[in-house]
Chains A and B, each alone.
Chain A
């Protein structure tokens, strides 16, 4: 009962804010653009490091493909609800706010999983990466975990949109941080120690490390890293719920909910 409602809401959120007009546009938006970005980053890496083995970067950058739907897509969800005057229905209704937050994330998470997996496959083909020794099931599991975590993070950012109109700036900065700090482009060990703490607390870092590990036959920390990634996802959602309550109260005091 509650589950049917949850998934129906997830579908309606997805359909209701889908920006693309048709299938071609949708594919270009969700797959074409991110793939080009990924190829761009891999080419830079091959140039900088003077290597032809781009396995490291293909993995990291295919994970980063989720930025499109998880960070930019989810990060503006609640700001848009505010701009369209729909937020008042949400606030004034007795709905369960944690279910509401999660329902928003379901479809973007699925899209992110598809985009990452496609990215990985395209990357492997384009850059002729040797993955013969790696079990793809492990990679697939880590992609799922990573995208769940990234979506939860995007939702946490999204809640900020109840408060501020500057979400585009926040999200662009977040994209930059993810590029620098997740270890997708270069090893996080090269960063100052205090910045490494930030690296570990943002999504993707752990799962990228897990996959990079199994690529060289190191399965030892794989499950631990994924568990940590999943746990951080849960922490993001719990934080999002608390933040929602705080921000709701704050905006009711300030009167900055919507424009009408």
Chain B
């Protein structure tokens, strides 16, 4: 299987200012390595602040690595980003990132223009996606009138607009109701059937276990365990027990 994401000894530091003169270096990602094959669903798990979002930002060409290798589709994420950007997209959790003063449909027109979709395909694609994320009957309402979960659905739609080969999802189920979360899981499974690759982070371990072909668990910027879900589970009954043991909490 060809490796379409290759990460080797990847490191990212942030410089944080403390007062006027003092600076502090924070190592957010501390030399991680993993590979993702085409068509896989890959999970990135770990505690708050473990470095998951930082890793995704580097893979989506938004952030430069401090050191190490970070390749998507064989191209360097910093330096050859032009060759990658067309073929990937991302979904971030949270309520920011869309135009609140535009309708759902207008938002999607805006984002599809950023990806230079041609106009004949555009309309079809937008209708299709609105249907997919179940926003069709609210398509012409302003996003500012949406609930949190509805905005999250719009974010999901945004991330699919250019029919990407690889989709990066950072806590995509945040704010979704159970039906919405199921909808997203079905979308992810459908994407896999279409041969797409998905890299996702989530704090819902059951979701991760259900979806992921492979996963890594991060702690303080490092990978503490990687493999298929059953390997990660090891001797524990649930993934949650294994996870808590790995990140150093107490299993009661």
List the interface of chain A (C-beta within 8 A of B): 1, 4-5, 8-9, 12, 15-18, 84-86, 88-95, 100, 249, 252-255, 257, 260
Contacts and interface: CB of A to CB of B under 8 A. Distances in A.
Contacts of A88: 60, 62, 90, 92, 97
Contacts of A90: 114
Contacts of B11: none
Contact of B113 (A8, A92, A249): A8
A12 B110 contact: yes
Contacts of B57: 255
A89 B114 contact: yes
A17 B111 contact: no
Contacts, number: 89
Contacts of A15: 101-102, 106
23 contacts: A1-B118, A5-B113, A8-B109, A9-B110, A85-B92, A85-B94, A85-B97, A88-B62, A88-B97, A89-B114, A91-B61, A92-B60, A92-B61, A92-B90, A93-B114, A93-B115, A94-B116, A95-B114, A100-B114, A249-B64, A252-B78, A255-B14, A255-B57
Interface string B162-186: 0000000000000000000000000
Contacts of B89: 92
A4 B119 contact: yes
B97 A86 contact: yes
Given A5-B116, A90-B114, A255 B63 contact: yes
Interface of B: 12, 14-15, 53, 57, 60-64, 78, 82, 85-86, 88-90, 92, 94, 96-99, 101-102, 106, 109-111, 113-116, 118-119, 158
A117 B12 CA distance: 53
B31 to A, nearest CB: 18
Main secondary structure, interface of A, reads: helix
Contacts of B109: 8, 12
B116 A95 contact: yes
Contacts of A253: 64
B119 A86 contact: no
B94 A92 contact: no
A14 to B, nearest CB: 10
A9 B113 CA distance: 7
Contacts of A260: 53, 92, 94, 96
Contacts of B116: 5, 94-95
A260 B96 CA distance: 9
B158 A12 contact: no
Q: Which 7 A-B pairs have the closest CB atoms?
A: A85-B96, A16-B99, A93-B114, A85-B97, A95-B114, A252-B64, A12-B110
B109 to A, nearest CB: 7
Contact of A86 (B85, B94, B98, B118): B98
Nearest to A254: B15
B62 A93 contact: no
Given A15-B102, A260-B94, A252 B63 contact: yes
A248 B224 CA distance: 33
Nearest to B112: A5
Nearest to B90: A92
A9 B116 CA distance: 11
Contacts of B15: 254
Nearest to A83: B96
Contacts of B60: 88, 92
